[in-house]
Amino acid sequence: MTWLDVALGPDTNDRASRVPWAPILRDVQVQGVTLRVAEQGAGRPLLLINGIGANLEMWRPAAECLPGRQLIMFDVPGTGASPAMLSYISMRRFAQLVDGLLDEVGLTSCDVLGYSWGGALAQEFAHRAPHRVRSLVLAATTCGLGGRMPVPWAAALMATPMRYYSRTYLRFIAPLVFGSAPHAAADSAHGDARFDRPPSMVGYATQLAAVWSWTSRPWLATLDMPTLVLSGARDPLVRPGNAQLLARGIPDARVHLVDGGHLFLLEQPALCCPLIEAFLDNTKTAAE
């Protein structure tokens, strides 16, 4: 485990350097499941896997700060515009869908960024199909069972998707669950996106059930791809100790603590995305 120290340039917050949000949307059939997929940009491909209940439009703040890459985003079954699957789905099954998705978009391998729940799925996918993952970015996530537990009220409030249906409710719980200011979570581009396409109750329950008994701790040491672990210093849901645990378990891992809460990648993309870009550029140079 090493600490990543990246100096951010003076143009970190320059809006002129951002790329317009203009993804190409389509539905694809993956192993009999319909997934809504978005692709944007050109360059080395980066697959973005979102948090529980989150639709692909919520990636907009981060996507605008990741130029020079082909971004692939998708709605997990039961979120956004992807229909729910009416049966239990394990994290292994979710990883199989990701594997099939890469086939459908014509990619042999890519970099993978998993956020929160999506970080668990990214780990599972990297474990099941390591040949398809060039490098791994794990943001605000955990190894599951055996990791550091969230504060009790944060875990309890995550049991319901109500924050996707009520802006007032989100403002109320944002400081408790995400360590965010109420307006930063609810009155923003990613806040608007979450209310436009909330998850179905079945879809949310499916994701919750899949991660409830999941763990990556027994096989973390088998993840041999370069990995960046990002954690919010003020995250009550996925506490920073989880980043340390992941970085100690993954052989080629770097860890960086961000001055933010659980939603740091959505609320502070101009600060966090240069860290991700520097890491991905370094892994690309090393591979070449």
Residues forming a β-bridge with 70: 45
Q: Dihedral sign for Cα 172, 196, 161, 264, please.
A: negative
Q: Please spell the DSSP secondary structure of 7-39, one letter per residue.
A: PPPTTTT-GGGSPP--PEEEEEEETTEEEEEEE
Q: How many CB atoms lie within 10 A of CB 27?
A: 12
Catalytic residues: 116
In angstroms, the CA 216 to CA 146 distance is 9
The β-bridge relationship of strands 110-115 and 253-258 is unpaired
In angstroms, the CA 272 to CA 266 distance is 9
Instruction: Name the 3-class secondary structure at 264.
Output: helix
Q: Dihedral sign for Cα 125, 57, 14, 256, please.
A: negative
